[in-house]
């Protein structure tokens, strides 16, 4: 069809950039919430008794519905049928509801032993299940919103600053990730472990309002184009999937995508905990190191995209990105290199890799797949990517628990010792607290003890039998009771509780240190999984380059012809 755009609202730079900012706000909230609970992993363990496998189940749940129910494929169809406005609003609302369910689940008291049996996963804590269902719903909303926002940007910027607008939209989204990694744990420490989710809910709500405003702008655009003939967009067709999956180049890109993203996104889920456990970074600031990664990509992705546009070498860029991935995870896996400055440098290099690969990968797809099948191609690539985002975080949690079998049980032992110590000292001193105050005090004290042991102790951990662990617990209770005997209550109840907290913290710390209890995760096996994903990425990047040479896709050629 001919395109004779005359006075379309698209011609107004102010209108189209406003549209870009409005739609990007929901992506900002989504990318924030995606990582809001990750830095809080150590607190979820100390306060709620989650294990690394529970955390792995939770983070993998992002992709449950997308993978099992083919939601990404359906979202593409729904987007074609219902359009940007309705699909965008529904996905923003879905993200909001998912976040709400997740918040409710983590603040609700479930009995410690409450579990349900799930196919494939087995027994799972009821709280982990409800949090995961919320996160899975959020995942459907995020992925659907991802493809909807791309379509919205294309609608406003086709023939204009399309690449820049897409790059900026991605940058705004990544700012959300950087913010979550940097502030979630300080927020949780200073307020409550659920506070980062509450903030996510607020951001998501702002995203919904912004999308409603976008709808009005979009209606104005439609009105302005009523008299004008514009290109009709190609709809999503199931039969296109068949022709796409017959293309070998498509498979190389899709596999490279799942391998590469699986070595980055899931790394971010665990990175704060990794910094705390391996590099002894203080929990309050540990998230700043992984936040350097998305923060760097905010500037580098558009920069590398521009270089690819002008100079080409797309397949080579992907090879370099995969090599950097191997270098980073290889260095992070070396046990004796435990300096946080080196870790920060490696995260910056990972940020460079994470800017190189996407800046070459996404623009490479149109060189392999005809334009009319692009929407379908991206939906299938994201579906395959989601399989990795589902399996890898789960595997990481299981491997972390399997290679550190006593850490979760030792943290649980500390929690129950702290709880019993409070009960004893409060009763001894005739101080009454309600269930909420008690819960809060136990959570805070357990977290403080665990954090300070992990940060400040240098002992070589010893594995204890169940009977020895019972002895350690009894020793904690005895020490606390002895130290608490000399304790003088204050008229002010909260001063007395603070004194009790101090006694319990000091005594528990001493007993743990003396008995060399293992509460520090060794992440080596997990990081080696990432390094292996890097090696596989490199192989597929080379295969893609070879296929490009055979079929002449032009991946090494510049996008802009001089």
Per-residue x/- marks for ligand LYPLPQDE, 322-361, CB under 6 A?
A: ------------------------------------x---
Q: Which is nearer to ligand LYPLPQDE, 147 or 418 (CB)?
A: 147
Regarding 452 and contact with ligand LYPLPQDE (CB under 6 A), the answer is no
Residue where the block lists tokens 């600031």:
285
Q: Which is nearer to ligand LYPLPQDE, 9 or 95 (CB)?
A: 95
Q: Which is nearer to ligand LYPLPQDE, 388 or 397 (CB)?
A: 388
Q: Which is nearer to ligand LYPLPQDE, 387 or 438 (CB)?
A: 387
Dist. CA 492–CA 489, nearest whole Å: 8
Helix axes 13-36, 195-224, angle to 10 degrees: 160
Shortest distance, CB of residue 91 to ligand LYPLPQDE, whole angstroms? 13
Q: How many residues bind ligand LYPLPQDE (CB under 6 A)?
A: 9
Shortest distance, CB of residue 261 to ligand LYPLPQDE, whole angstroms? 6
Dist. CA 211–CA 205, nearest whole Å: 10
Shortest distance, CB of residue 242 to ligand LYPLPQDE, whole angstroms? 22
Dist. CA 174–CA 465, nearest whole Å: 45
Both structure tokens of 556: 């090494």
DSSP SS3 for 133: helix
> 531, 275 in Cβ contact below 8 A?
no
CB atoms within 10 A of CB 281: 21
Shortest distance, CB of residue 256 to ligand LYPLPQDE, whole angstroms? 13
Among 385, 410, 501, 518, binds ligand LYPLPQDE (CB under 6 A): 385
The H-assigned helical ranges of 108-125 are none
Shortest distance, CB of residue 30 to ligand LYPLPQDE, whole angstroms? 7
All residues at 6 or more sequence positions from 200 whose CB lies less than 8 Å from its CB, including other chains = 29, 32, 33, 36, 99, 103, 180
Dist. CA 456–CA 264, nearest whole Å: 29
Shortest distance, CB of residue 486 to ligand LYPLPQDE, whole angstroms? 52
Please report the DSSP string for 329-394 in residue order: HHHHH-TT---HHHHHHHHHHHHHHHHHHHHHHHHHHHHHS-GGGHHHHHHHHHHHHHHHHHHHHH
Q: Which is nearer to ligand LYPLPQDE, 261 or 274 (CB)?
A: 261
Q: Which is nearer to ligand LYPLPQDE, 221 or 541 (CB)?
A: 541
Among 45, 54, 143, 526, binds ligand LYPLPQDE (CB under 6 A): 143
Q: How far is CA 515 from the centre of its chain?
A: 35
Dist. CA 420–CA 418, nearest whole Å: 6
Shortest distance, CB of residue 166 to ligand LYPLPQDE, whole angstroms? 10
Question: Among 145, 126, 128, 148, which Cα is nearest to 60's?
Answer: 128
> 118, 124 in Cβ contact below 8 A?
yes
Shortest distance, CB of residue 265 to ligand LYPLPQDE, whole angstroms? 5
Regarding 547 and contact with ligand LYPLPQDE (CB under 6 A), the answer is no
Shortest distance, CB of residue 177 to ligand LYPLPQDE, whole angstroms? 7
Regarding 34 and contact with ligand LYPLPQDE (CB under 6 A), the answer is yes
Dist. CA 477–CA 509, nearest whole Å: 12
Regarding 66 and contact with ligand LYPLPQDE (CB under 6 A), the answer is no
Among 98, 146, 283, 388, binds ligand LYPLPQDE (CB under 6 A): 146
Residue numbers 265-284 binding ligand LYPLPQDE by CB under 6 A: 265
**Cα-trace Rg, the chain:** 26
Shortest distance, CB of residue 432 to ligand LYPLPQDE, whole angstroms? 46
Shortest distance, CB of residue 461 to ligand LYPLPQDE, whole angstroms? 33
Residue numbers 356-375 binding ligand LYPLPQDE by CB under 6 A: 358
How far, in Å, are 67, 75, 76, 92, 237 from residue 71 at the CA level?
A: 7, 6, 8, 15, 15
Phi-psi label, residue 457: left if phi above 0, alpha if psi -120 to 50, beta otherwise? beta
Shortest distance, CB of residue 389 to ligand LYPLPQDE, whole angstroms? 7
Q: Which is nearer to ligand LYPLPQDE, 51 or 90 (CB)?
A: 90
Residue 113's Cβ-count burial label (10 Å; 0-12, 13-18, 19+) is exposed
Shortest distance, CB of residue 19 to ligand LYPLPQDE, whole angstroms? 20
Question: Among 105, 74, 103, which Cα is nearest to 90's?
Answer: 74
Helix axes 52-60, 41-48, angle to 10 degrees: 120
Per-residue x/- marks for ligand LYPLPQDE, 464-503, CB under 6 A?
A: ----------------------------------------
Regarding 382 and contact with ligand LYPLPQDE (CB under 6 A), the answer is yes
Residue 512's Cβ-count burial label (10 Å; 0-12, 13-18, 19+) is buried
Interacting residues toward ligand LYPLPQDE by CB under 6 A: 31, 34, 143, 146, 261, 265, 358, 382, 385
């Amino acid at each position: 069809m001919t395109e004779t755009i005359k006075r379309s609202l698209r011609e107004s730079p102010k209108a189209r950039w406003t549209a870009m900012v409005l739609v990007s706000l929901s992506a900002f909230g989504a990318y924030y919430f995606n990582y809001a609970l990750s830095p809080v992993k150590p607190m979820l363990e100390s306060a709620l008794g989650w294990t690394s496998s529970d955390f792995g189940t939770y983070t993998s749940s992002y992709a449950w519905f997308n993978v099992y129910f083919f939601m990404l494929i359906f979202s593409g169809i729904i987007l074609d049928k219902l359009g940007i406005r309705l699909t965008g609003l529904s996905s923003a609302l879905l993200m909001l509801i998912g976040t709400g369910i997740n918040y409710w689940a983590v603040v609700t008291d479930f009995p410690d032993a409450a579990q349900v049996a799930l196919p494939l996963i087995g027994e799972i804590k009821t709280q982990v299940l409800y949090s995961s269902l919320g996160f899975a719903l959020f995942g459907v909303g995020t992925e659907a919103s991802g493809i909807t926002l791309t379509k919205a940007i294309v609608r406003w910027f086709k023939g204009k600053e399309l690449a820049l607008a897409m790059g900026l939209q991605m940058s705004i989204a990544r700012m959300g990730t950087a913010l979550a990694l940097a502030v979630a744990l300080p927020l949780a420490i200073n307020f409550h472990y659920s506070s980062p989710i509450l903030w996510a809910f607020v951001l998501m709500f702002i995203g919904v309002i912004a999308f409603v405003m976008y709808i009005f702008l979009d209606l104005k655009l439609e009105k302005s184009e009523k008299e004008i003939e514009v290109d009709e967009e190609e709809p999503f067709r199931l039969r296109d999937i068949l022709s796409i999956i017959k293309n070998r180049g498509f498979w190389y890109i899709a596999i490279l995508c799942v391998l590469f993203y699986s070595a980055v996104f899931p790394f971010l889920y665990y990175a704060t905990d990794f910094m705390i456990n391996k590099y002894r970074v203080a929990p309050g600031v540990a998230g700043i190191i992984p936040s350097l990664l998305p923060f760097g990509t905010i500037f580098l992705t558009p920069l590398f995209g521009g270089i690819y546009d002008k100079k080409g070498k797309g397949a080579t860029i992907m090879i370099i990105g995969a090599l950097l991935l191997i270098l980073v995870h290889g260095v992070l896996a070396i046990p004796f290199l435990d300096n946080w400055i080196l870790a920060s440098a490696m995260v910056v290099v990972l940020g460079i890799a994470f800017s190189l690969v996407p800046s070459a990968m996404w623009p490479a797809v149109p060189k392999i797949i005809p334009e009319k099948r692009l929407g379908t191609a991206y939906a299938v690539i994201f579906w395959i990517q989601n399989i990795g985002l589902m399996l890898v975080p789960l595997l990481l949690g299981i491997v972390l628990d399997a290679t550190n079998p006593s850490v979760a049980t030792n943290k649980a032992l500390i929690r129950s010792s702290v709880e019993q110590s409070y009960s004893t000292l409060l009763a001894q001193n005739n101080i009454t607290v309600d269930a909420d105050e008690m819960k809060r005090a136990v959570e805070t004290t357990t977290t403080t003890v665990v954090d300070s042991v992990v940060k400040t102790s240098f002992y070589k951990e010893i594995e204890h039998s169940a009977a020895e662990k019972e002895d350690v617990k009894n020793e904690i209770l005895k020490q606390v009771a002895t130290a608490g005997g000399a304790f003088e209550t204050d008229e002010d109840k909260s001063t007395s509780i603070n004194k009790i907290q101090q006694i319990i913290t000091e005594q528990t710390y001493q007993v743990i240190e003396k008995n060399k209890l293992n509460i520090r995760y060794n992440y080596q096996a997990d990081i080696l999984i990432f390094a292996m994903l890097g090696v596989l990425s490199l192989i597929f990047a080379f295969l893609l380059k070879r296929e490009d040479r055979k079929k002449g896709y032009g991946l090494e050629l510049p996008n802009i012809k001089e």
